[in-house]
Amino acid sequence: MIVASPTATPSPTDDLGPQPCFALDQHVLEHPASRSEGALVVRDTQYGARYFLGPDSVTVSRDDPAPRSRAAVMRVVRELATARALADGSRLQLHAAALEHEGKLIVLAGPKHSGKTTLALRLAACGRLAIVGNDRLLLTPSPAHPGAWAVRGIPTVVSVRPGTRAQLGMFDDIPAVPSPAHLTMAELDAQARQHAPYEPGARVKVSLAQFARAAGVPLAGDGTLSHVLILAVDHDLDGFGIEPCRGVVARASLETVRYGSRPDGTPRTVFEEWLGVTRPSHSDRLRLDDLVGSVPVSTLTVGPAVLRDDRLVGELLARVVDHG
- Residue (of 56, 91, 58, 88) closest to 76 by Cα position: 58
C-alpha distance from residue 66 to each of 17, 49, 178, 180, 182 (Å): 26, 11, 9, 11, 9
Which of helix, strand or coil describes residue 153? strand
Supply the pLDDT for residue 37: 83
**Going by DSSP bridges, is the β-strand pair 130-133/104-109 parallel, antiparallel, or unpaired?**
unpaired
Task: Give me the pLDDT at residue 158, please.
Answer: 93
Give the pLDDT of the chain (324 residues) as one tens digit per residue: 455 555 545 555 688 999 999 988 878 999 999 998 889 999 999 899 999 999 999 999 988 888 888 999 999 999 999 999 999 999 999 999 999 988 889 999 987 778 888 999 999 999 999 999 998 999 999 888 888 999 999 989 999 999 889 888 899 999 999 999 999 999 999 999 999 999 988 999 999 999 999 999 999 988 889 999 999 989 899 899 999 998 999 999 999 899 887 766 678 999 999 999 988 888 888 999 999 999 999 999 999 888 888 899 999 988 887 765
- The pLDDT of residue 40: 95
Residue 221: φ, ψ to 5°: -70, -45
What was the pLDDT predicted at 168? Answer: 86
| Per-residue pLDDT at 115 | 84
Question: Which helix or strand (DSSP H or E) is residue 137 part of?
Answer: strand 136-141
Judged on CB neighbours under 10 Å (0-12, 13-18, 19+), 272 is buried
User: What values do phi and psi take at 22, rounded to 5?
Assistant: -125, 120
| C-beta of residue 148 within 8 angstroms of C-beta of residue 224 | yes
β-pair type (49-53, 297-302): unpaired
Other residues' Cβ atoms within 10 Å of the Cβ of residue 302: 25
Sketch out the chain's domains with CATH numbers.
2-84 (no CATH), 91-157+207-323 (3.40.50)
What pLDDT shows up at residue 13?
A: 67
